[in-house]
Structure 1
Amino acid sequence: MEYNTSGTDIIADEDWDNLILLDACRYDAYTATTPFVGPIEMRESRGSTSRQFVRGNFNGKRLHDTVVISGNRWYLDLQNSDDFDCEFHAYYDVERDAADGFVPSAEAVTEAALDKIGQYPNKRLVIHYMQPHHPYIGTDIDGFEQKRVDMREYVRRSSVDTDTIRAAYQDNLQYVLKHVQRLVEELEGKTVISADHGEALGERLSPFPVSWFGHPIRVYTDELVQVPWHVVSNESRRTIRSESPRSQLTDIDQAEIEQSLKDLGYK
């Protein structure tokens, strides 16, 4: 199976007007860091990678009431595959303005979302940030060069230890949450903060006999599939309407999409 069938279907099983996704955000890290009040529930993700998460939640669906604003390009990559079929009302790819064009900054995703809110008052919004996923642009800890390699390769090449990596990850989470706070203040309706999947930060993940960093595909350990489900606003529900798609894909070249995913260790 291409995804974790035990995981929550965020479309069929959950109720929300705005869904803010933090990339590679562990449940335990979020609960220790979030500035938002209220009970934090846990959900099991449909994937240990973004690819599985997107496929498991969106494939085969006509989501003409939903607009996606994303720094994660798996939505675009899968739309170009023969075995993935999904329609949103509109989709917007966020400019990759951080770490020499490696990823979109949290600022860029927030600005893109704020720019679209007024255009779609009657649509559900999915806003997908790339942090706390590496590169750790939100940390000033010495030793982190933002190189275009996946996390395991980065750790192999560097001299940083596990405690330092975990601290940098936590810094990156704090960084993105500051910008999420700004966005939440402007959103109307029921707003939920969650994640596409978690992240291994030095744990031993069966069946791998070594400490692991990152998020290997089809490994459904707690570190990789337990994600937060935090309702941070639930007032003034919007009237949601389904309308014919306005746009599906951007003009981004497929080779560019694949290269950006390869840089993150996915290809």
Structure 2
Amino acid sequence: MILWDRIRENPELLTRTLRDPALVGLGANRAYYEYTRDSEYNAQGTDVFEDEDWDNLILLDACRADIYAEMTPFAGTPEVRESRGSASKQFVRGNFQDKTLHDVVYISGNRWYLQLQDELNCELHAYHDVERDVADGFVPSPEAVTQAVLDLKDEYPEKRLLIHYMQPHYPYLNAENDAFKLDKTGLRETIRASDVSYADVRRAYRDNLRYVLEHVQTLVEELDGKTVISSDHGEMLGDRLTPFPVRWVGHPPGIFTDKLTTVPWHVVSNGPRRKITADPPVSSDHVDMSEVEQNLKDLGYKL
């Protein structure tokens, strides 16, 4: 849907566009990818279940491949993959749609699977939602995700573990600048309303990545089998979108530029493989869906 169609559906968007001309560039880029990619997600990206081999797949939300490669504490040279989404919603659609994943347990700090599960036609062996214990209850800390995995891993000794941390995704938990505290208007509006620079954004993003990697390292040491670190999508940090070069921060859905779709793929341990079996689904955590929807809105997502 081109920008003008969006404006007809939501007249308030015209006011926003006049106040923020970069939205025109965003709309032009989105129209380009809608025209060139006939899918709700980036179908040419990697299917993490069918194309790849792993026992434990750790997703760092919104983690750029280039910055991860600079900062990773793990040995070896990270590879890269092309993600099926420029945002979590598309990643989930592109990887879970119409799948029977009776050998997978998803332990997640990201709630898009919950939001979309009625549309996905997907069966997991189990799903566990991680408690949101920081940023006024909007996101789970790296400590909470790590502890959830440590508490659950022995319950599923013959299952693949998909582990989804929310960091380095905004909010930037360790940022010194108060401007980066969670703002329900979103990261980009926060930046536009303050005096922070793109350099400040990149610094805060790196601090958040460093923070989560410390806890991922603890987890990797406890997991057996083949463990891979990757991401659901990348992040714009003042870089220019393509093909229309407007500067952006964040990860707008449907914009399949390299900075958003190139993600790390790093095999960080490859010990003796555990036996993996497929079994029917078991009861998953009960989560209030109205709370899920509000949580995603508070993080700046359009549902």
Quick check: TM above 0.5? yes
Q: Once the 2 structures are TM-superposed, how far is the Cα of residue 222 of structure 1 from its aligned partner?
A: 1.0
Residue 46 (structure 2) pairs with residue 8 (structure 1): yes
Give 3-state SS (helix, strand or coil) of 2:238's partner. Answer: strand
Question: Any residues of structure 2 matched to 1:149-228 within 5 Å, and which?
Answer: 149-206=185-242, 210-228=246-264
Q: Given that residues 70 and 127 in structure 1 are in contact (C-alpha distance below 8 angstroms), is that contact kept between their aligned partners in structure 2?
A: yes
Per the alignment, residue 99 of structure 1 pairs with 135
Q: Is the 8 A contact 1:50 1:74 kept in 2?
A: yes
Return the alpha-carbon distance in structure 2 between the equivalents of residues 111 and 127 of structure 1: 11
CA contact (8 A) 2:179 2:190 kept: no
Q: Secondary structure at the match of 1:92?
A: strand
Structure 1 residue runs of 5 or longer lacking an equivalent are none
Distance 1:144 1:53 in 2: 25
Asked if the contact 1:102/1:148 (under 8 Å) is kept, the reply is: no
What corresponds to 1:254 in structure 2?
289
Cα deviation for residue 148 of structure 1 reads 2.6
> What is the identity percentage for the equivalent residue pairs of Structure 1 and Structure 2?
63
- Give the whole-Å Cα distance in 2 for the aligned partners of 1:137 and 1:224: 22
- Deviation at residue 141 of structure 1 after TM alignment: 4.2
1:17 aligned onto 2:55: yes
Q: Confirm or deny that 1:132 pairs with 2:168.
A: yes
Q: Distance in 2 between matches of 1:138 and 1:246?
A: 37
Please say if residues 48 and 95 of structure 2, whose CA atoms lie closer than 8 Å, have aligned partners that are also in contact: yes
1:117 corresponds to 2:148 = no
Deviation at 1:236, TM superposition (A): 1.2
Deviation at 1:206, TM superposition (A): 3.0
Aligned length: 264
Out of 56, 62, 75, the position equivalent to 2:113 is 75
Give the letter for the 2:167 counterpart: Q
Which has more strand, going by share of residues?
A: 1
Aligned to 1:233: 269
Q: Deviations over 1:171-200 (max 9, x none)?
A: 000000000000000000000000000000
Residue 50 of structure 1 pairs with residue 85 of structure 2: no
Would you say 1:265 and 2:303 are equivalent positions? no
Q: C-alpha displacement at 1:142, in angstroms? A: 5.2
Q: Give the greater-gyration-radius structure (CA).
A: 2
- C-alpha displacement of 1:208: 5.3
Distance in 2 between the 1:71 and 1:34 partners? 21
The question of whether the paired residues in 2 share the 8 Å contact of 1:70 and 1:92 is answered with: yes
**Aligned Cα RMSD in Å?**
1.2
User: Could you tell me how far apart the structure 2 residues matched to 1:260 and 1:106 are?
Assistant: 18
Q: How far does the alpha carbon of each residue in 1:15-34 deviate from its partner, in whole angstroms, 9 at most, with x for none?
A: 00000000000000100100
Q: Distance in 2 between matches of 1:139 and 1:238?
A: 39
Moved more, 64-73 or 250-259: 250-259
The counterpart of 1:66, out of the listed 91, 104, 108, is: 104
Among 87, 90, 95, which residue is 2:126 paired with? Answer: 90
SS in 1 for 2:161: strand
Partners of 2:175 and 2:154 lie apart in 1 by 32
CA deviations 1:77-113 (Å, max 9, x no partner) are 0013xx3211110100001101111111000000001
Say if 2:180 and 2:190, in contact at 8 Å, map to a contact too: no
Query: Tell me, what secondary structure is at the counterpart of 1:129?
Result: strand
